Amino acid sequence: MSRNWLYVLFWIFVSFLTLFPIYWLFVISVKPAVELFSTPDLILRDFYWQNYVDVLNDRTLRSYMVNSLVISTGNAVLCTLLGFMACYALSRFDMGGKESIFFWTITNRMAPPAVFLLPLFLLLTQVYKIGDFSLLDTRIGMILVYCTFNLPFAIWTLRPTIDGIPKELDEAAHVDGASPWRVIWEVVFPLARPGLAVTLILTWVFAWNEYLLAATLTNFNARTLTTGLSEYVTTTGTEWGIMATISVFTLIPALIVFGMVQRHIVAGLTFGAVKG
């Protein structure tokens, strides 16, 4: 009995180490700039919300937030839908080489993202453009670019779900005269909903958290919150309070989402780690 309490004490200590850096982020975000350089104080005494007001009133940062929301939501919906269609095809049809295709999709996720920077930049500026319109610095461009890591993830997490839905259900609906299209969207899709929800949420978090591609493939119009954050770190002087506040704003949606899928997240993250 007493040894159990030793474990609890040990885990309180570990949790402290895990949580303290996040707590410190919050502490910095609610301190006025003048107090930052006095002796650091572990305990929060009063809250200074001006940083939050400043960030919310900043038109540039507000547009970055909207961009982040539009891009990650658009990308998550697109990847989940396309991933569902692809998994249905891989699961129900007898296409030649389908297992190779399945494996090939994941190799797209294995390449280090830094290697994608120059190729994608060149492609978006030199090749994928119609007249003056290029995909560089557009929301739709970022939604498509994020598919390189989120679409393989969606396919790999959805495959077991779709494989797990009995084929007899499709066939029964088929015999009853439903068109293949209706079978997909009115029989299989509703049954796959739990898996689809988890995939949607995890792809959303990955897109929301992405920094490297957004930093190189956007200038202003499609800048995201994560790149906005790095703009506040300059060699001439960093606005620490604002930086901490933007970090809090970036962190909160991920935390909420984490609460929603906490139970399913272990499997997803173990795989998701293949590309941070």
18 binds another protein (CB under 8 A): yes
Identity of the residue, 22 or 56, whose beta carbon is nearer to another protein in the bound complex: 22
Residue numbers 161-180 binding another protein by CB under 8 A: 174, 180
Contacts of 116 (CB under 8 A, 6+ apart): 148, 213
Which of 47, 70, 50, 32 is closest to 225 using CA atoms?
Answer: 70
Q: How many residues bind another protein (CB under 8 A)?
A: 94
* Among positions 2, 57, 100, 270, the unique one binding another protein when judged by CB under 8 A: 270
Write phi, then psi, for 128 (nearest 5 degrees): -85, 70
With CB under 8 A as the contact rule, the residue among 72, 157, 216, 218 that binds another protein is 216
Neighbours of 62 (CB within 10 A): 12
In the three-class reduction of DSSP (H, G, I as helix; E, B as strand; rest coil), residue 48 is classed as: coil
Q: Which residues pair with 129 in a beta bridge?
A: 134
**Footprint of another protein on 29-68 (CB under 8 A):** 36-37, 39-40, 42
Q: Is 209 in the site for another protein (CB under 8 A)?
A: yes
Asked if 111 interacts with another protein (CB under 8 A), we say: yes
Single-letter amino acid code for the residue at 113: P
Assess contact for 140 and 218: CB atoms under 8 A: no
Residue from 65, 74, 116, 159 touching another protein (CB under 8 A): that is 116
Residue 233 touches another protein, criterion: CB under 8 A: yes
> Which residue in 34, 45, 93, 100 binds another protein (CB under 8 A)?
93
CA distances from 196 to 128, 156, 252, 258 (A): 31, 12, 23, 16
Measured from the CB atom, is 27 or 70 closer to another protein?
Answer: 27
The residue range among 44-52, 56-64, 158-166, 225-233 that interacts with another protein, by the rule CB under 8 A, is 225-233
Q: How far is the CB of 63 from another protein (least distance, A)?
A: 19
Residue 21 sits at φ, ψ, to 5 deg, of -55, -35
Q: Does 273 bind another protein (CB under 8 A)?
A: yes
